[in-house]
Structure formats: structure tokens, C-alpha cells
Amino acid sequence: MSDNPTQNKAETGRESRLVKVWDLPTRVFHWSLVSMVFIGIITGYIAPEWWMGLHVWAGYITVTLLVFRLVWGMFGSEYARLETFTFSPVHILEHMKEIISLRPVRHYIGHNPSGAVMIFALLFVLSVITVSGLLVLGGEENQGPLAGAASYAISEIAAPIHNIFVIILIAMIVMHVSGVILEGKLTGENLVSSMFTGLKRVPKGTPPLVHRRARPFAAFLVTATFFAIGGSLLAAFATMPPSGLRHLPANETYETECGDCHAAFHPSLLPAKSWADMMATLDDHFGEDASLDAETANEIALYLAEYAGEEWDTEAANRFRVLDPKHPMQITATPYWVRKHDEIDPETFKRKGIGVKSNCSGCHTDHYSGRFDDQKIKIPEVKVK
């Protein structure tokens, strides 16, 4: 354990010198992680859903960064090593009391005790966020390396965990930034500048610092081994077909008879009973007579029943099984559809290429598969004459 205190605020006026503390890999990690967290929050909670692809890649890169930091914490240069900022509870409490009381606090060449606690907490919180995110991606979106292993039910458990820990992360970021600002005022250090330059200021009389050199080759071997083993396991999972998807064979009768008036809906968008009720009342099909001969109607009814929502474990199939009691045969009346399209201007549905709000194919380029991936949403733009 090493805490490396060097001075208090009363000493900041004395002559001092700059020393190299943060190595380049540590600084690149820090700002790369900041960027990925920022992108993840923006694409996950603010940007349109079709930015999900960028959100997913931010998650993958975050996992890579976390693995690197843990490995570099064993083989990096002196103050990148985890052991140099592993403090006893007593040291941590003392440092926190100094900050809370706004008393002059000691300088630490590396991370101070409060900052160390924040770093370990951030590593844990980000680990939970990325793991839960992979489970949501696999179970709900049927994407990613866990698509064949994670069910929709698992994603329903992982999703709230993911969101709760994101809120915790945002709160920790606010605390971290506030702590950096306060620490700077109490000690006179510019911690942000230090993380760019790698240099920190210490009193001139401070004894020469003992620096252990980084061992990049050892770090590379450990990282490569980890990704080789982890990558092989994930690759094995990735070969499994998505657990929630089925192969939907084409049915020319359904596509012709129903597609003559509107885009043929994917059978997973309604439960079997809704399809059965719809086929039994074709003489009053949403205000029109869409009657078919018995043989044709029976063929379509059997097809819809075989591939109805209960037979799929996709997000769409699970969500659309919750119906509007007043309109149990209307996809666009389901609570989920209404909620997901609530912020879309009604005029958007009148654009060329869409026409009506029930035309799923107008925006969902993968509607035929039943996936309805966020990344495959493409809303037709209004052409300026």
C-alpha cells in the first residue's frame, strides 16, 4: 500500500517542481473511457433509437477499456498500478473528513484515497452496466454474442439493472467532477491538466520518486490471453441462432390476399387469438368487407396461428401480446406501439413511402424478419422541391 502524501495547502507557495506521474496509456484510457461513457449516455437515452448501433459499439469499447485498465493496473508504471492507490479504511475516512470540512488537505502524488474509492467504484459500476447491457442486447434485441443464450425474460431482469446503474454512474460522475474541482481549490492542483500532460507538481524538497517501469510486453500477453479465451467463448455463443427468432416461410396466399390492400404484417405482431378473431370477422374488417373463400381464409388462418406472437421471443412479439382491450385486433392501438410512436409527428405518417401509421415497412427496413432492430429504422425524409 502506498499513499505518497507530499504537502498541504500551506506549502503550495513554496518552490515546487513538476514530475511525471501518469503514463500515456493511463491518460489515453481515462479520456477514451470519458468519451465512451458520454457516447453511451447520449445514444442510449437522448438520441433517436436508430443510433443504437453506436451505443452498442460504445459498450464493446468500454469492455475493452476496462479489461485493459485492470491489466495495466498490474503491469503499468508506478502510479498506474492498483496497489499504489489501495488505501486502508482509516486513510479513506481521514481524507474524506478533510474534504468535507474544507480543511487544507494533503497532496498525493498519485491518486488520493477518495479518488481511489471512486475509481474502484466506477470500474464496478461500469462492469455491471456492460454485462447487463449485453444481456439486454441478446435477450431483447436478439443481437450480439449472447443472442443465442439470453431469453427475453432474462433481458427483462437485466434492463432495470442496466438503467439503475446508469443513474448511479451519472451521480458518480457528478460527484467525481465536483471532487476534482474541490480538490483543486483546496490543494492548488490542476488535476484535469495533469491527466492531459501526465505531470503533477510536488514541493522542491520532495525526495526523488521511485518509479517502477511499465511492463508492456507482459501486459500485452495477459490481455491477448484474456481476449483469446473470452473471445473464443463469445464466438461459440455467437454461433448459436438467436433464441427468440424463428424461420418464417413465405406464404404467397397471405402476402397476395392481405398485401393487396396493405403491407402484410409479420405474424408475430399479434397473438393467435387476435388473428383468429380477425379471420373470423373478415366481413367487417375495420369497416370494410374483406371476405375470402373458405379455403383461402383457412390457409391464411392456419399460417397466422402457427407463427403468431406466442411462437416468438422477440421484443416485438412480447410487447405486442399486451393488447388494448377496446381494440384487441389493432396493432397500432397496443400500449407499446402507442408509447413508442408517441413523439412522432402525425404528419410524418403521411409522408411518401409511409402513407398510414400501420405501414410498418415504411420505416422498419427489416419488418419482414420480425426483428424490428432499432438500427434498421429509417424514416423517409421530406424531399425539398
Q: How far apart are CA 150 and CA 165, in angstroms?
A: 20
Higher pLDDT, 111 or 9: 111
Phi, psi at residue 377, to the nearest 5°? -80, 130
Query: What 3-state DSSP class applies to 377?
Result: strand
Q: On the CB side of 184, how many CA atoms lie within 13 Å of its CA?
A: 12
Q: What is the pLDDT of residue 109?
A: 81
Please give the mean pLDDT across all residues of the chain: 88
**From CA 137, how far away is CA 140, in angstroms rounded?**
6
Flag the least confident range among 34-48, 119-133, 178-192, 286-300.
178-192
Nearest to 258 by CA among 235, 285, 240, 231: 285
Percentage, residues of the chain above pLDDT 70: 92
Angstrom distances, CA of residue 320 to CA of 243, 324, 337, 346: 18, 10, 8, 21
Q: What is the pLDDT of residue 7?
A: 42
**Mean pLDDT (whole number) for 269-294:** 93
Q: Tell me how far the alpha carbon of residue 310 is from its chain's centroid.
A: 28
Residue 303 has pLDDT above 90, yes or no: yes
Q: How much is the pLDDT for 260? A: 84
pLDDT at 241: 87
What pLDDT was estimated at residue 12?
42
Q: Would the pLDDT of 383 be above 70? A: no
Q: Which residue segments constitute the domains of the chain, with CATH numbers given?
A: 9-238 (1.20.950.20), 252-376 (no CATH)
Q: Is the pLDDT of residue 4 over 60?
A: no
Binned at pLDDT 50, 70 and 90, residue 15 comes out as low
For the segment 50-101, what is each residue's pLDDT rounded down to a tens digit?
899 999 999 999 999 999 999 999 999 999 999 888 888 888 888 888 778 7
Contact 148, 241 (CB under 8 A): yes
Where is 20: in which H helix or E strand? Answer: strand 16-20
Model pLDDT, residue 8: 44
Judged on CB neighbours under 10 Å (0-12, 13-18, 19+), 362 is buried
> E-strand spans in 132-251?
199-203
Strands (E), the chain: 16-20, 199-203
Q: How far apart are CA 104 and CA 11, in angstroms?
A: 10
Cα–Cα distance measured from residue 275 to residue 346, given in angstroms and rounded to the nearest whole number: 27
Is residue 40 scored above 70 in pLDDT? yes
Grid coordinates given for 110: 498519485
pLDDT in tens, 121-172: 999 999 999 999 999 999 999 999 999 989 999 999 999 999 999 999 999 9
Task: Give residues with Cβ within 8 angstroms of 306, minimum separation 6.
Answer: 267
CA dist., res. 253 & res. 323, Å (int): 27
Question: Which residue type is seen at 7?
Answer: Q
Q: Is the pLDDT of residue 257 over 70?
A: yes
In whole angstroms, what is the distance from residue 270 CA to residue 258 CA? Answer: 15
Distance of alpha carbon 322 from alpha carbon 342, whole angstroms: 17
Q: In whole angstroms, what is the distance from residue 43 CA to residue 49 CA?
A: 8
When pLDDT is cut at 50, 70 and 90, the band that residue 11 belongs to is very low
pLDDT digits (tens, 9 = 90+) for 174-224: 998 988 888 777 777 788 888 999 888 776 666 666 778 899 999 999 999
Residue 118: DSSP 8-state:
H
